[in-house]
Structure 1
Amino acid sequence: MEGTISTIVLPEVDDTVRLGQMIGERLRAGDLVLLAGPLGAGKTALARGIGAGLGVGGRISSPTFVLAREHPAGPRGVPLVHVDAYRLGGSLAELDDLDLDSELTEAAVVVEWGTESASRLSSDYLLVTLERRPDDQRVATLQGYGCWPGRVAGLGDGPADQRR
């Protein structure tokens, strides 16, 4: 089963970070998460939460100017590779130069702006699309492909989360 798992309203940036943390707690080596949405929608805040959920070392910030940042594994033993594909402009050749295929066996890989090119890295991936409403709230839509629908079912069902 593939498709939309849930849509979650995120009133505050902290809610976006918490959603990321819940996703990160479920990640294991070999997982691919794609983050989509316009500038300012909260992709990097979500990535910070994912890093917290994994317990990785290092500050999670936008890798826009370096394309990819590697964060060493924490107590869970899963490192994080955080990629910003914005500057790649959908270029498959430049994405191949990052050698993410090999990273996918040893780390969890989170790619911002990677829906056009990074989804070909694996048939098993989670796509999180963020939008920012005029009232400054964010909305996250989670779509799972391959093994993902069952792995993140129930995200957003907690009392602090609001569903649309």
Structure 2
Amino acid sequence: MTEQRWQIFLPDESATEELGRWLAERVRPGDILLLYGDLGAGKTTLVRGLARRLGYAGRVTSPTFTLVHEYEGDLPIYHFDLYRLDEPDQVWEIGWADYLRGEGVLCIEWPERLGGLMPDEALTIRLSHPGEEGGTVGVRVNEVEGAVAAGRIVELAGFGERPEALVKEWRKTCSSLGSIVPPL
């Protein structure tokens, strides 16, 4: 199976939330979204769009100090923020095995802290500012002043059959979400 990747430019916060809403219409119990990006890259904004579309009306914030927030809606969302983990094994203390059983969608910020606990099948979402390491330089955007500074480059990569199918579908519909960046 070939890894599927696709990049897109999202011009603002609402477009990042729109990507979350798009994903909400497609995720299933047991899906895992690995959210990469620096502080302020839009990871929690994407989760907010996902949660809203799945019927959660409460506040969506990054669970930096609690490590996980649970959002109950049409499909439960388990929103992890592993930024403060010192060791990957600490994730077991918050019930990692129970969350992996597949009742809801796992959204994991700072998944690189999982080390050897990284799941084999997941949808990887990398958010970056244009020109940052990992972001694409020379993004085609409208000539609106400040659009690049406010926007994000988002790369989706699928690892496993279901995540790869999501990337293929996103690739087909991404023109409705923002300006397309050529695939890697």
TM range (shorter): 0.7 to 0.9
Output the CA distance in 2 between the equivalents of 1:67 and 1:38.
Answer: 17
Q: Indicate which of 79, 84, 87 corresponds to 1:82.
A: 79
Structure 1 match to 2:15:
15
Q: Indicate which of 157, 167, 170 corresponds to 1:143.
A: 157
C-alpha distance after superposition, 1:66-87 (max 9, x if no partner): 111011133xxx2011010000
Structure 2 match to 1:41:
41
Report the AA paired with residue 6 of structure 1. Answer: W
Q: Indicate which of 127, 132, 145 corresponds to 1:130.
A: 127
Structure 1 match to 2:178:
161
Report the AA paired with residue 78 of structure 2. Answer: V
Moved over 6 A (4+): none
Q: Is the 8 Å Cα contact of residues 2 and 144 (structure 1) preserved in structure 2?
A: no
Structure 2 match to 1:6:
6
Aligned to 1:157, the other structure's residue is in SS state helix
Segments of 5+ residues of structure 1 without an aligned counterpart are none
Tell me by how many angstroms 1:119 deviates: 7.5
Report the AA paired with residue 94 of structure 1. Answer: Q
Report the AA paired with residue 161 of structure 1. Answer: G
Structure 2 match to 1:108:
105
Aligned to 1:93, the other structure's residue is in SS state helix
Q: Indicate which of 83, 94, 110 corresponds to 1:98.
A: 94
Structure 2 match to 1:120:
117
Identical-residue share of aligned pairs (%): 32
Output the CA distance in 1 between the equivalents of 2:115 and 2:32.
Answer: 9
Give the structure-1-normalised TM-score.
Answer: 0.87
The alignment covers a number of residue pairs equal to 160
Tell me by how many angstroms 1:130 deviates: 0.5
Larger Cα-atom Rg: 2
C-alpha distance after superposition, 1:1-57 (max 9, x if no partner): 343431010111100110111112211111110100111111110111121232235
Check 1:68–1:6 CA distance in 2 against 1; reply closer, same or farther (3 A cut): same
Output the CA distance in 1 between the equivalents of 2:99 and 2:35.
Answer: 18
Structure 2 match to 1:32:
32
Output the CA distance in 2 between the equivalents of 1:21 and 1:55.
Answer: 11
Give the structure-2-normalised TM-score.
Answer: 0.79
Q: Is the 8 Å Cα contact of residues 127 and 152 (structure 2) preserved in structure 1?
A: yes
